[in-house]
Structure 1
Amino acid sequence: MEAVLGLLVISAGVSHCLETSCDARQNGCQCYGALGGTVYLQLVTDATIYDELSFYKGSTGAETEILRMKKDIWVIRDTRIKDRVHFFINNGTFRLNNTRSTDSGEYRLETFNSEGKSSGIRGLKLFIEAPVSSPQLSSECLSHGEMRVSCSSEGDGPQYSWNLDGQTLRDTEASADDETNTITLKKGLSGDLTCTVRNHISSDTVSSRISHCPGLIYVNCTLSNGTKVSEWVNTIGNTLCIESTTVATVTESPISKTSTGMEEKCCDARQNMSCHGALGETVYLQLMNNATGSELVFRKDPTGASIKIFTMKNNTVRFHDSIKARSEFFINNGTFRISNTEKSDSGEYLLEIYDSHGTRLSTGGVQLIIGDGCVALRTPAADFTILFSWPELAPLPLLAMAALNGGDMALFHHPTSLH
């Protein structure tokens, strides 16, 4: 599942300065240089005060003399790097150009007095690292609405840090270590997400405005048992903060009448189920709680001719079928309306939810049945209980009786006589 990540991505990096300097006048110093750049190592404050000094690379017993200075005259002893080095006597600084990874290692400086006896030894370690590259953000939505975000960068030893709207991420906002290149944001989070990557040589930053994963809504209510609910939930399949119905299986929806006397029926289609309507009436199918910000495709007969009814993107609904003159979609409550219903409106419908990259996140189906009449019965015990009664259908002949899940029965009638 892909996420919606960033209409605006800003990279604000520290320029990869290829020149670095290090004060190596203390024993045991650690110095860092940029790969391919120039590093300055200040070995002593003023080399002219020493009668003689030598600079070595490598550990004791396996070291190579790089530089020797005597009576203010210095000589590069290692011919392999002769064209890449220089020594400044007045401030005791050793310069190494066009650095390579093989330049990393242990170094030792030894000074001598006028009698040629050692007067001091100091060691240092040099690390040559590749600077970090400009980081890139990528994301995906997980099945429960969380968002996994990755920050990728090249370079040696990159370290990562994250913040949201300028604040360090808290444990309640993200799981996993926020010093890694991948974090998982808790569902419902949005704002300006920033990833900073750095090593000893350079640092760079990328920011992106993120929004919560498509298909999420925020519910805030108090349930009948007094429990307070305030959280982000998946739109498809959500049962929180929804008024409970008396019928949990396939039944007729409540009926209302318009000012013109035309019947209207509402059906909660947020779960895979069947909805029924009579000819010539208006049917409301609630497909999701709130469609704001979602990208949707609503189809009829998805396994057959697959007629596209409407699409929605950037909160703009576009109808594609001839049904558009009789239909409307209400974004704020995710409800699809069909007016003046026809027999041809019957069929299987499928709602598909996509992210901004065109990756399908979830689907939900509903079977719409448009007929002359339907009576739904429940049999919790031996007796039949009529839930929705159409008295005008009572004298009509019975076409069929179908058993539904959970002990429900549906009796279908037709206005014409059977022969």
Structure 2
Amino acid sequence: MMLIFGLMLLLKTAACLEFNCWFNQADPCHAALGDKLTLLLMMPDTRTYDLKIQKRISSKEKDPVCKIKKGTIRECDLFNNRPEVTFVNGTLIINHVIRADSGTYRLVVFDSESTEIPKGDLQVIVEAPIGSVEVSIICSSSGVRRASCSSDGDPLFFSWTLNGDPLMDGNATIDLDEGTDGNISCSVKNHVSHQQMIFSVKHYPESSASLVHVLVWCLQMMFLLGLLGGFHIYMRLTSGKKREDEKVRMRRFREGHEHTAED
């Protein structure tokens, strides 16, 4: 049997406060909800071009755009009423990312004849950072312990280690047998943050485990014997009362018979 004697240590990794992406990169751009995101246009001099950043929603709707002329945002229905969105030195800066910033963006350049030239697409995925990690232990009578790990944030990826050695990846729960002993860590991460909790697990010696089983068995037997003893006493009391009632009836019967004979 094992004894979980406490949660020992909470390790917290600092989440990045700024995420940098650029148009035409191969992988999606992951950004943390509430943090800063910079989108690099990767152009030599944006002040000599008219630009347009378009969020592609669907072919049936008019996609919102943000037009940039001479290095300054001029017309923009993409980030309406958001002063935290700026354009500086060829970089679009979102100082406080929100859920609505997720989506696919296209960078378009206008040439000297005002012809639109696509320069690249970028998929932005906004994720909530990982919150504090919590671990709960469920004990079973067979000695198996089930450890469950949980946290806020999305999406969540779990991994476990025992004394530094990998146990299992991908699952929020693991089963710990009677022989498990040492430091177990649960790590939770997504594309923008990472958190970890470490807790210690100890096990009882086998003799202690046997003693516990014996004590449980003795208590169960005492309970059953108590029930049987109570039932036996109840039957004896009931039987004695019946015999007493029979004697009273017989005595009354004899007394009644004697009175009749005298008359």
| Shorter-normalised TM range | 0.7 to 0.9
- In structure 2, the CA distance between the partners of 1:5 and 1:47, relative to structure 1 (3 Å rule), is farther
Instruction: Provide Cα deviations, 1:120-177, integer angstroms capped at 9, x if missing partner.
Output: 33111111111111101111222321210011111110111100001112xxxxxxx5
User: CA shift at 1:60, angstroms?
Assistant: 5.2
- Give, in whole Å, the separation in 2 of the partners of 1:134 and 1:3: 26
Q: Larger relative CO (CA 8 A, sep 6+): 1 or 2? A: 2
RMSD across aligned C-alpha pairs, in angstroms? 2.9
Matches within 5 A, 1:172-191: 178-191=169-182
Which letter does structure 2 place at the counterpart of 1:44? Answer: M
CA contact (8 A) 1:104 1:126 kept: yes
User: CA shift at 1:43, angstroms?
Assistant: 2.2
CA contact (8 A) 2:2 2:178 kept: no
Which letter does structure 1 place at the counterpart of 2:197? Answer: V
Residue 95 of structure 2 corresponds to 97
CA contact (8 A) 1:33 1:126 kept: yes
Q: Is 1:206 matched up with 2:197?
A: yes
CA contact (8 A) 2:135 2:149 kept: yes
34-43 vs 125-134, which moves further:
34-43
Selected match of 2:206 from 189, 204, 217: 217
How does the TM-score come out when normalised to structure 2?
0.73
- Give, in whole Å, the separation in 1 of the partners of 2:218 and 2:120: 69
- In structure 2, the CA distance between the partners of 1:81 and 1:200, relative to structure 1 (3 Å rule), is farther
- Give, in whole Å, the separation in 1 of the partners of 2:97 and 2:108: 23
CA contact (8 A) 1:190 1:211 kept: yes
User: Match of 2:169, SS?
Assistant: coil
User: CA shift at 1:87, angstroms?
Assistant: 0.7
CA contact (8 A) 1:3 1:141 kept: no
- In structure 2, the CA distance between the partners of 1:157 and 1:363, relative to structure 1 (3 Å rule), is farther
Q: Which runs of 5+ in 1 are unaligned?
A: 170-176, 219-233, 237-287, 289-295, 297-333, 335-349, 353-361, 368-419
Instruction: Provide Cα deviations, 1:212-240, integer angstroms capped at 9, x if missing partner.
Output: 3x5x618xxxxxxxxxxxxxxx934xxxx
Instruction: Provide Cα deviations, 1:245-273, integer angstroms capped at 9, x if missing partner.
Output: xxxxxxxxxxxxxxxxxxxxxxxxxxxxx
- In structure 2, the CA distance between the partners of 1:76 and 1:98, relative to structure 1 (3 Å rule), is farther
- Give, in whole Å, the separation in 2 of the partners of 1:151 and 1:178: 12
Q: Which runs of 5+ in 2 are unaligned?
A: 223-263
User: CA shift at 1:50, angstroms?
Assistant: 4.7
- Give, in whole Å, the separation in 2 of the partners of 1:166 and 1:157: 24
Residue 57 of structure 2 corresponds to 59
Q: Which structure dedicates a bigger proportion of its chain to helix?
A: 2
User: Match of 2:117, SS?
Assistant: strand
User: CA shift at 1:116, angstroms?
Assistant: 1.4
- Give, in whole Å, the separation in 2 of the partners of 1:186 and 1:7: 17
Residue 257 of structure 2 corresponds to none
Which letter does structure 1 place at the counterpart of 2:189? Answer: R
User: CA shift at 1:36, angstroms?
Assistant: 1.8
Q: Which structure dedicates a bigger proportion of its chain to strand?
A: 1
